[in-house]
A and B are shown apart, each in its own frame.
Chain A
Amino acid sequence: MTVQRSRAQLSAVTRFALCIAPFFSACSGFQSVLDPKGPRAEAVAKLHWTLTAIATIVYIIVISALLFALWRASTRPPVIDEHEHHETPEQADVMKRGVVIAIAATVVIMLTFVVVSVSTGSTVARVGGTKPLRIDIVGHQWWWEVKYDDPDPQNIVNTANEIHVPVGRPVLIKMTSTDVIHSFWAPNLGGKKDLIPGHETTTWFRADTAGVYRGQCAEFCGHQHAKMAFYVVAEPRLDFEKWLGQQREPAKTPTDSLTQSGERVFLSGTCAMCHSIAGTGAGGTVGPDLTHLASRRTIAAGTLPLTTGNLAGWILDPQSIKPGAKMPPNQIDPQALQALLAYLGTLK
């Protein structure tokens, strides 16, 4: 009997633990506000923990006072006649003092909240550091266009859904959108900022730890809003320079017959109407630039890891992966598809 009961209790505890576990799973990891990797996110996380700590203490005090009052009332003899019950002047004094202290404490706490949040606001608003790296981001349904501007047009880098940044250097981002309002949000690095069509907004962040951080659109923008993600790759300065130098190169001319015919498939069909590959005749600006497609981690804005199989599925029937995406399904012969995949694989 006892064994059974203890087992039942245990299962209740387990069930409770299982229920609350998901709430804590968000506390760490590569897309979390509670795992800050830069000054902007750190300031907000600190504000969050400060407010939570104060609110928890206040909650515990209030609930303890309530329980104490209930306990004391239960130990006293019950009041028979309401009209006979009067407080002594001393009791009234004690109660008055209690109310004054409670009000004063509330005002002090509220003022503390104001001071803490205003100072957090100023930390978040000011770009932390000098000589920021400038990046332009354009929101599209449902992917991110990322541009690294340069005075020399030959050095402008256009990529998509993957933002490489050097560790420790602030990044200043200028954003706009081509269709609807999107919102840029990389929780580990900073708060959200909207991308508004016909209007420019700016935000900044600094990654202090090398790593890959996931971000996503935080403003509902249509069917595939949930599959509009991006990755911020924070790497040491030298690695970043190397990456940028490589991204500046145009695509290599295919050398063997398979990739050559793959390039022909790309240029003669529907692909080149929307996508660009620097160094070829493909100059479409509707979809992501594919000059260095094979150097990216994912396809379809963080929807699938970049593998040859996933790419093939995406090219043939994107609507089964991302219904409503602006890329049309394609009918390509198996041989032509293999050649195309081989060619796209060379776009490192």
Chain B
Amino acid sequence: MSRQSNRLAALAALVALGLIGCKREQRRFRETPPAATASNAIVMSTLQPGPAIVETGIRNPYEDNAYAVSEGKRLFDQMNCSGCHSHGGGGIGPPLTDNEWIYGSDPQNIFSTIVEGRPNGMPSFRGKIPNYQVWELVAYVRALGGLQGKAVRTTRDDHMMYKESEQARDQGHPTPTFVPPTSVKQ
């Protein structure tokens, strides 16, 4: 009897283990109401007049969510972020894969960078991208900088490889690279 209950407990533990992956893969297709995530609580400075409010209560709902990070990656290309930041490597705009953040690396900082724009070239996407998609972009940008959990971090983009991937290379003809020693003239 006790052996059976032990087995049951082991089984329950296994099932529980399987459930750990659920949050990471949670896909929230329908935000209710749409664009409900507020942006006006974001502050640029920690200095405040009057009694200080430490907690702003803003957090990225998509932090550590693999689906959101992959959606962010899609949007990063489709909204032409790559046009300046070049797949995170930087070009006209600063690189996003290093650990230097001009305007802060917190989710709310990146959110306001995208929504408000920044001097010297970063355009403002206010009203052009729904808030929840901006948060998805934030999740991806943080993943680029290595600020997301290892479980949801994307691999380095194909364009950012120091060597072109095998699939992306031109299909050449196989060339002999090994010359048998017998054919070498003495």
Contact = CB atoms under 8 A, between A and B. Distances in A.
A280 B129 CA distance: 20
B30 A329 contact: yes
Contact of B34 (A198, A274, A324, A329): A329
Interface residues of B, number: 18
A273 B30 contact: no
B33 to A, nearest CB: 8
A255 interface: no
Interface in A192-216: 198
B45 interface: no
A331 B35 contact: yes
B30 A320 contact: yes
For the complex, would chain A's binding face be called helix, strand, loop or mixed by DSSP majority?
loop
Nearest to B67: A324
Contact of A324 (B29, B127, B129, B168): B29
Nearest to A269: B127
B29 A319 contact: yes
A268 B30 contact: no
A323 interface: yes
A281 interface: no
Nearest to A284: B78
B130 A270 contact: yes
Nearest to B33: A331
Interface string A315-333: 0010110011010111100
A286 interface: yes
B29 A323 contact: yes
Given A198-B167, A328-B34, A270 B129 contact: yes
A329 B130 contact: yes
B29 A331 contact: no
A268 B34 CA distance: 18
Given A269-B128, A270-B130, A317-B30, 18 more contacts: A198-B167, A198-B168, A223-B29, A270-B127, A270-B128, A273-B128, A274-B78, A286-B78, A319-B29, A324-B29, A328-B34, A328-B130, A328-B133, A329-B30, A329-B31, A330-B34, A331-B33, A331-B34
